[in-house]
Amino acid sequence: MDKKKALTFFAVETSNEILLPFVGGVKAGFPSPAQDYIDSSIDLNKELIKHPSATFIAKVTGDSLKDAGLDIGDLVLVDKSEPFVHGKMAICFIDGEFTAKYLNLKEKDKGIIWLHSANNKYEPIKVTPENDFVIWGMIIEIIKKPPVMDF
């Protein structure tokens, strides 16, 4: 695997509440003053992190999931306590490296797991018992900066 696809991991700090104003619904249409519509406050720790001791943040450094909207520099919340689910994104450790991929568990009973990218540049990875492999955790949220439009 390409070393440029490595992930950087960060622990999640949940001991402090970070309350942010919460607006219940935002239309992508005619602008209105949001200040008039603040419903309450929201704590992102409580909203996004269900299992603090099993949750980590990883920074994406590769482009293998770009067609799924996961770009270089995005942050992903990874929950190590979530069950492994066919068709969902996961952080996997394979042969000494971490990678973010979609799980294909259809042949798991035969001892085979497939890891799929969302970029035609990359072929699926066939994982067999000969590989040093573990599904490290499931991606539960993606945090990204909005794209900039060039008009």
Question: Residues with catalytic annotation?
Answer: 64, 101
Q: What is the CA radius of gyration of the chain?
A: 18
CA–chain centroid gap for 64, Å, is: 13
Among the listed residues 17, 12, 92, the one whose alpha carbon sits nearest the alpha carbon of residue 53: 12
Please tell me the chain's helix, strand, coil percentages from 3-state DSSP, rounded to the nearest 5: 15, 40, 50
